[in-house]
Structure formats: C-alpha cells, structure tokens
Amino acid sequence: MASLVLVVEDERKIRELVRDYLERDGYQVLTTGSGAEALTLARTHAPHLMVLDLRLPDVPGEEVARELRTFSSVPVLMLTAKATEDDRIRGLEIGADDYVTKPFSPRELVLRVRAILRRAPEVREHGQARSFGAGLLAIDESRHEAWIDGHLVDLTPTEWRLLLALTARPGRVYSRSELLNRVRGEEFEGYERTIDTHVKNLRHKLGDVSGEPGIIETVVGTGYRLGLQRDG
C-alpha cells in the first residue's frame, strides 16, 4: 500500500510542490498550512510520516512536534529556514527524525522521506489502520478490513474498492466516472449511476444516516467524497 504523508507548510507554493513530488513518487499526501489542523489530521488519519515546517502562522512547528509526541510516534521530517546547528539540534531534540533546510530540492526531500520510511517499518505497520470520521471508521488495507466503532464491516469487493478510493484522499471530491474507473471489477456493469447504488449500500453498512453529515458526503452535481473529521 502507499504510505500516507502529511505535509504541514503554510507557503502554498512549497506545499503544492512537495505534494506533487511525493504523489509522483507514489505516496498518498494530505496537506495543511495550519499547525492546529496538522495535529487534528495526525490524530484522525494516522499518517506514516509528517513533513513539518517550523515556521507556521498559528502554532509553531516546535509546538506541533511537542504536542504530536504526546500521542504519536510518527516520524517527522522538519522543514527549516534555520540552518544553525543549535536549531538543528533543537529540532532533533523535540522529536524530528530528520530535517531539510530551505531552500531545498524537492527530489532530495522525497529521498529523505523514502529513507525515513524505510528505516521505520514498525511505524508503517501501525499506520495501516487509518481512522476517519472522528475515529469511527478505521481501515486496514493489508487485511482488506474496515471497522466501524470497533465492529468489522462486511463489504463486497466493489464496496471495498470504493471505500479505498474515497479514503485515498479524504476531502477530495470524486466524480462518478472517476470512482467507476477506480472500482471497476468483473461484476461491475459500467454505468455511472451504478456508483450511486454502491455508495448507498456502502453508506448503509457504514451506518451513515440520511440527513446527517456522514462518512461519505454527496457533492451535488459533482460526485462523492469522504466526510472530514467531525468533533465528538
């Protein structure tokens, strides 16, 4: 399975550059420009690695790393403009696994990411169960299992592929034809509207109640997406 990398960087250009390079290298990528949201995403999505900028507008990267370590051992690759040895040591002291000094080559960053993940196989194992929807939904890609509130959900192969497609990039909207391409299997008829039926069945199994914000959201006129994390 593809490892999930959370990129925390408030400068949009750098954020998108890093995301593009990581995606090109086969990683799943979540991004945010906020330190507070980074902590939320780390809790809800259990990424395999976090790329963390030290200078963030809301919560400084050092604080994010410190707070992160109270509930997660996810490897952290720091992005820093501070190149002095003191800063580097401080970064490593607060739990960063490695650092890259700006300006950096995105290719080098990808290599660092790859190196960290290679030497952290135990973290990758743990990371395979990812939680969505305020921790209600957890999926284990290696076992092809989805859990709701600790209960195993019995999914058809098509429903499983549909769920995986949606969870690959939480919040991203997928059109029916995109989902169709991603879940196409032997039993699949090939009409875009069949996606609606599969989504309906999947929602039912996941316990989504109509009229309430659910794990799978309909985006009118466009398609579907995984609902974002909710409080409570």
Q: Rule CB under 5 A: say whether 88 interacts with Ca ion.
A: no
Q: Minimum distance between the CB of residue 60 and Ca ion, rounded to whole angstroms?
A: 10
Q: Minimum distance between the CB of residue 57 and Ca ion, rounded to whole angstroms?
A: 8
- In the DSSP assignment, the letter for residue 216 is E
Q: Is there a contact between 108 and 100 (Cβ–Cβ < 8 Å)?
A: yes
Closest to Ca ion by CB, 55 vs 126, is 55
Exposure pattern of 64-74 as b/e (b: 16+ CB <10 Å)? bbebbeeebeb
Closest to Ca ion by CB, 38 vs 183, is 38
Q: Rule CB under 5 A: say whether 53 interacts with Ca ion.
A: yes
CA distance 83 to 100: 9
Structure tokens at 187: 């039993």
Q: Rule CB under 5 A: say whether 97 interacts with Ca ion.
A: no
Whole-number Cα distances in Å, 43 to 52, 171, 211: 15, 16, 26
Q: Rule CB under 5 A: say whether 63 interacts with Ca ion.
A: no
96 burial class (0-12, 13-18, 19+ CB within 10 angstroms)? buried
Q: Minimum distance between the CB of residue 49 and Ca ion, rounded to whole angstroms?
A: 19
Of 113, 133, 125, 121, which Cα lies nearest the Cα of 23? Answer: 113
Total residues contacting Ca ion by CB under 5 A comes to 3
Q: Rule CB under 5 A: say whether 55 interacts with Ca ion.
A: yes
Q: Minimum distance between the CB of residue 11 and Ca ion, rounded to whole angstroms?
A: 5
Pattern 1-40, binding to Ca ion, x per CB under 5 A?
Answer: ---------x------------------------------
Closest to Ca ion by CB, 12 vs 184, is 12
The residues that touch Ca ion, with contacts defined as CB under 5 A, are 10, 53, 55
